[in-house]
Structure 1
Amino acid sequence: MRRLMRHPAGLAAAVLVAALIVLALVAPPLLGDRAAAIHPDRINQGAGAAHWLGTDALGRDLLARTLVATRLTLGLAFLATLIGTVGGVLLGALPSLLPRRAGRLVVAAVDLLVAFPALLLAMFTAVVTGLGARGAVLGIGVALAPAFARLTHTLTASVAGADYIAAARMLGVPPHRVLTRHLLPNIAEPLILNTAQAMGSSLLGLSAMSFLGMGVQAPSFDWGRLLNEAFGHVYVTPAVVAAPALAVALAGLAFMLLGDAFAKAAAGAAEPAGAPVAPVVAPAADAPDPDAVLDVRDLTVAFPGGITPVRAVSLTVRSGEIVGLVGESGSGKSMTAAAIGQIVPYPGIVAAARTALCGTELDGLAPAERRALLGASLAMVFQDPTASLNPALRVGGQLTEVATLHDGATPAEARARAVERLGSVHIKEPAAVVRQYPHELSGGMRQRAVIAMGLMGTPRLIIADEPTTALDVTVQREVLRVLREVVDSTGAGALFISHDIAVVSDVCDRVAVMYAGRVVEELPADALRRARHPYTRALIGSLPDMDTDRALPLATIPGRQPSPADVGDGCAFADRCALAGARCSAPPPLTARAAGHHVACWEA
């Protein structure tokens, strides 16, 4: 509600809706007699001191009648909204309770009703059920129900595959119980937000029905009925339509704006408060490493709310080298990769003393030049290949897009290159695979196809963000072998991100260990057994091997990694470290301890 009040439109809508509700409560007892009083000597008078907006065909005060009609208009709109909401939610949830074939029939019926014009559906229902307030309410409720049914079905389908739903069904929970306890509570928010806008639609629809003579009948009156009665005199005394027309317009606008403001406030509730503070990073004094395909110094990423997932990270990747970036989940590995690839999501802010790709500093380029350099020189392989490939397009079409967009290749050249690249990552029958869709490939083939997509250009740097996590051990080894072969054959450098230090030690040349957004140790992969930082040694010690005593519990690291918003100024690992001392209250610098070996620890 506080977020709603911060929006000017939301605040205005809330005030107007509150005023309408108050008016609906107090107007009938205060102005009911004035609205009903007939004055034959004042028939169809224009605006004047006695009647500010004139009188109707029986001499009744139009302003008083408009204000009194607020209660009936809002009441009928509320009933119609209730009918449409409840009926639509039940209809949309029905497919989840019925057998698959019956559920599909319900979905088809909903699609047909959605395609039918809402006002015609309301009029048809009103004619069938009988003209008058009851028929109009039922008609508008029926007209609203298909949209709510479509929304409910879409939202229900989005959560129906969740593990907690599968667990409830496995435990034998009845379908109606699954619906009311597990499905509907998790989709309630968007339904509630749409209800406010539906109230506005109901009000407008009911006024239209009454104006057409199919809604409220005399002697009762709502705003639409008042418009109907005044319309015959609009050319003589135009003021007679002002009050009900203005009331319909303002009330409908108020409810529509309130629903829109609720939706914006709910969307903003998930965002951290405050604006991100731009990290202060001094420019690098030295020149970029001429042998490095990637040279990053003091890379920092900040989000609103004091959240800094990456803190002064420095990395160097040279040609033909694979550098491993390892650490627990939440240590900042993937955010570091996103910052290098310039894809940090809004509202994150990235700052660095230097971010150089192939010797060119990215910050010094125009946006178009930066995109061209990243598109041609950087390839990114993400953890889930299914998310990286468009399920609606064939594999070949997605690969050829890279060559045609960045290299200007013809369709035939791009297709031939796609077949060649798929073959280079050991996909059998690549000519057939280019004609297939992603769902027709296995997980390992999809991952290799993503690697082949990265190789469609001539990348100098490959960033592989946990590319083997979702694969079984055999396929993992195949993908790692392909990555090693690609680096050796093309001379590209690679940044390999993983939480598995055993995999990193097997495939990488050098390893950078991250903890709580910082690099705490960097060393050659073959020197991991001589690691000096307590966190690196704890990671290695938690790996079982053939000599591990199976009678003992597996080694673990006590405690938990702090969240990016809770990292203090000192050593972030101090709370979990047996060597922590007084000096650990200050951040330890990353200092050289041997050739190619840097450690950030006061006690190591």
Structure 2
Amino acid sequence: MIRSSRGLAAGLAGLGLIAVLAVAAPLVWGGDAAHLSGAAREGVSGEHWLGTDALGRDVLARTLVATRLTLVMTVIATAIAGTIGVLLGTAVWVAGPRVREIGLRLIDVMVSYPAIILALAVAAILGAGTVAAVVAIGVAWSPAFARLTANLAASVAGRDFVSAARLLGVPPHRILVRHLLPNIAEPLLVLLSVAFAGTLTALSGLSFIGLGVQAPSYDWGALLNTGLDALYTNPAEALGPAVAITLTGVLAGFVGDGLAAGADPHRVGIPGRVKKVPLPAAPPEDDGALLTVDGLCVSAGDVDLVDGVSFTVRPGEIVGVVGESGSGKSLTAMAVARLLPDTVTADARALRLDDLDLLAGAAPDRLATEIGVVYQDPAASFNPALRIGGQLTEVLRRHRGLGRRAARERAAEALDAVRITRPEARLRQHPHELSGGMRQRAMIASALLTGPRLLIADEPTTALDVTVQAEILELLREANRRDGTAMLFISHDIGVIASLCHRVLVMYAGRIVEELPVADLAAGRARHPYTRALLDATPRLDTDGDGGAELTTIPGRPPAPADRPAGCAFASRCALVMPRCTEERPAAVAVGTDHRAACHAVALTVEETAS
């Protein structure tokens, strides 16, 4: 939405008057512009305000009549530039990585040449004339649109709502029209006004040097050329078209500045490649598992971000994944949802949701309906250019075959189920009109609309205050109890994990270091030094002020993915470190029912207890 301003109003009003003049001038002054008289090269007079040309024709009448052809050519050339540039700039972001790389390099090459050089090259190929000039200037200005569009699309293409659209199986052309273009439209409108002024000047320049409009037709550039011959005897002959070009360009600039100043302040992954590779034989599987992840590795180039993660999620179970930032929690979840950035690859022995092979890269309809995703930041997850209703109903209409009215009714019911007031009114609102907690509730409603069997919640309460956080957690519990929805809940807050989940996976440096039931976690029966350190660093309200244990901190920081040691990644921060910890990667050992820990010290204790 664009707010009005004085500059914008003045620019639009001025261009509107010029457009009216373009329509009326040939009808009113067409005869005077074509009338030949004996008063050749006559100076300024009451009869001829700008004098006459070499054939005695009135210069002012010809300037006014030339407005139509000049504006028509400028509009067409600007449309050609915008169409080619926008299509090229957005196409590279909805195409594959190879096409994108070629497209971006092509744009760079085109931008490196001045527009007028490209225009002259095209005009030389096509020859002199009106059509050649319009095509030449349109092609010459298209790189500016392509570069801006590509840069803007890059910032939008990585947003969660675009990744979700890809997960839903929305085709590339619909992603382009529905999600990319609406979110970059305002800067493009500003460029459009600037391009209008630029193409006007460029077209006039081509006509001025004889490569544009040819006699007997004429535009402002052609009139400027003929006026140059009389510059010393009757400068007014060149003054008329010069003023017309300058005034129109300035008014277009007013429009551009007004659009830039009045733009709505609220406006502002591509699925990763998951491939199946031969790996060592898989360990025994849980036959009752809904989700099976076995030997998952996520890499960026030669660097492993997630290294050999294996776990299962049973039907109706809430599995929490906890760890410090950079531990690989979100990458693991996004690999399951196939929402990794395209610069990241994922390999696994098995990655399966019931009978759906997530490594195969197929069945987008099933992915869209059987996996729901709740993101950490709903402000980035909803498309700011679209109303809430359209975004909630899209998946129902596309994958459930519901009509518009039925889909809206279902969406309203889903908003009501997550306790959003006035759901029908909320469907007509844009995301920025909702509070943070309300947006998160709407995100949960969106994720649950299709009745997914697995819900992935990627730190859904991190950005919320404690009151709203408690409400969101209760909504997730309710969905689990009511619908039996299995969940993979990601958080860095071990307290939140303990309050919601049935089973906990503790991740550190891209690996699972401990897996245990939440009852063991709550009872303090965690065995891995990292898990115990997280618990010791968590504030508790069930101890009195002077008798409670003092909070501790974990010294140091996790290693960077490229610097992870061959042995235990936690060794440099661990109080129980042994010589073998730095050399040998610990294997997970069973320390109880559904309880395993990957630690040499724990393994030694288990061996001593068994003996």
Q: Same fold (TM over 0.5)?
A: yes
Aligned match of 2:412 in 411, 414, 419? 419
Are 2:190 and 2:256, in contact at CA under 8 Å, matched by a contact in 1?
no
- The residue aligned with 2:600 is 602
1:382: which partner in 2?
375
Pairing 1:82-121 to 2, within 5 Å after superposition: 112-116=193-197, 117-118=199-200, 119-120=202-203
* Compared CA separation, residues 389 and 284, structure 1 to 2 (3 A): farther
- Residue 326 of structure 1 corresponds to 322
- Residues matched between the structures, number: 394
Q: Segments of 4+ in structure 1 off by > 3 A?
A: 7-13, 107-114, 120-128, 157-162, 276-281, 283-290, 546-554
Question: Per-residue CA shift, 1:108-162, capped at 9, x if unaligned?
Answer: 998644322241576789969x979xx9xxx99x999x99x989x989x999999
Separation (CA, whole Å) in 2 of partners of 1:325 and 1:385: 20
2:543 is the counterpart of 1:545: no
Contact 2:274 2:338 in 1 (8 A): no
What secondary structure is seen at the aligned counterpart in 2 of 1:115?
Answer: helix
Q: Aligned pair in 2 of structure 1 residues 535, 108: CA closer, same or farther (>3 Å)?
A: closer
Aligned to 2:161: none
2:503 alignment counterpart: 510
Matched-pair contact (CA < 8 Å) for 1:283–1:354: no
1:515/1:458 CA distance change after superposition, 3 Å: same
Counterpart among 562, 582, 585 of residue 579 in structure 2: 582
- Match of 1:441? 434
Specify whether residues 513 and 412 from structure 1 end up closer, same or farther in structure 2 by C-alpha distance, changes over 3 A only.
same
Displacement after TM superposition at 1:560 (Å): 0.8
Partner of 2:95: none
Q: What is the letter of the counterpart of residue 439 of structure 2?
A: R
From the superposition, tell whether residues 349 and 110 of structure 1 become closer, same or farther in structure 2 (CA, over 3 Å).
Answer: closer
Q: 1:284 to 1:394 in 2, by over 3 A?
A: farther
- For the Cα contact (< 8 Å) 2:274–2:347, is it kept in 1? no
Secondary structure (helix, strand or coil) at the match of 1:586 reads: coil
Structure 2 residue corresponding to 1:353, chosen from 349, 352, 356: 349
1:214-229 counterparts in 2 under 5 A? none
Percentage of pairs with the same residue: 46
**Greater mean alpha carbon deviation, residues 474-483 or residues 588-597:** 588-597
Name the counterpart of 2:564: 567
User: Distance between the aligned counterparts of 1:451 and 1:289, measured in 2?
Assistant: 29
Deviation per CA, 1:385-429: give whole Å up to 9, x if none. 111111222212111111111111222221221111112112222
Q: Aligned equivalents of 2:471 and 2:497: distance in 1?
A: 15
- Once residues 297 and 493 of structure 2 are traced to their aligned partners in structure 1, the CA distance between those partners, rounded to angstroms, is 24
Counterpart for residue 555 of structure 2: 558
2:298 is matched with 301
Change (3 A) 1:538 1:12: closer
Corresponding residue for residue 396 of structure 1: 389
Aligned counterpart, 1:236: none
Task: For 2:109 and 2:422, locate their aligned partners in 1 and report how far apart those are by CA, in whole Å.
Answer: 64
Q: Does the CA-based 8 Å contact 2:454-2:485 persist in structure 1?
A: yes
Picking from 302, 309, 314, the partner of 2:310 is: 314
Q: Quote the Cα distance in structure 1 between the aligned partners of 2:564 and 2:466.
A: 35
What stretches of structure 1 of length at least 5 have no aligned partner?
18-106, 163-275
Deviations 1:26-83 (A, max 9, x none): xxxxxxxxxxxxxxxxxxxxxxxxxxxxxxxxxxxxxxxxxxxxxxxxxxxxxxxxxx
Matches within 5 A, 1:450-489: 450-489=443-482
Distance across 1 between alignment mates of 2:548 and 2:286: 50
State the AA in 2 paired with 1:501.
Answer: I
Unaligned runs of 5+ in 2: 1-100, 115-187, 209-219, 230-238, 240-244, 603-611
Partner of 2:590: 592
8 Å contact 1:277–1:302 — kept in the other structure?
no
Match of 1:521 among 488, 491, 514: 514
Normalised by the size of structure 2, how large is the TM-score? 0.56
Q: Which residue of 1 aligns with 2:79?
A: none
Tell me the alpha carbon deviations over residues 180-234 of structure 1, each in whole angstroms, 9 at most, x when there is no partner.
xxxxxxxxxxxxxxxxxxxxxxxxxxxxxxxxxxxxxxxxxxxxxxxxxxxxxxx
- Structure 1: distance between partners of 2:413 and 2:266: 41
SS of 1:454's equivalent? helix
CA distance in 2, matches of 1:343, 1:10: 27
Q: Matches of residues 176-325 of structure 1 in structure 2 within 5 Å? A: 282=279, 284-285=281-282, 288-304=285-301, 306-325=302-321
1:284 positional shift: 4.9
Asked if structure 1 preserves the Cα contact closer than 8 Å seen for 2:536 and 2:551, the reply is no
Deviation at 1:558, TM superposition (A): 0.7
- Aligned mates of 1:512, 1:473 — CA distance in 2: 23
Give CA deviations for 1:338-378 in whole Å, capped at 9, x if unaligned: 11011111121111111110243323x4x442x12211100
User: In 2 relative to 1, CA 558–161 (structure 1 residues): closer, same or farther, beyond 3 Å?
Assistant: farther
Alpha-carbon distance in 2 for matches of 1:9, 1:419: 46
Query: For 1:457-502, what per-residue CA distance to the aligned partner results, in whole angstroms no more than 9, with x for missing partners?
Result: 1200000000011111100000010001001111110000000111
SS of alignment partner, residue 416 of structure 2: helix
Q: TM-score, normalised to structure 1's length?
A: 0.56
- Give the drift of 1:291: 2.4
Deviates more, 1:411-420 or 1:541-550: 541-550
Query: Distance in 1 between the 2:108 and 2:352 partners?
Result: 48
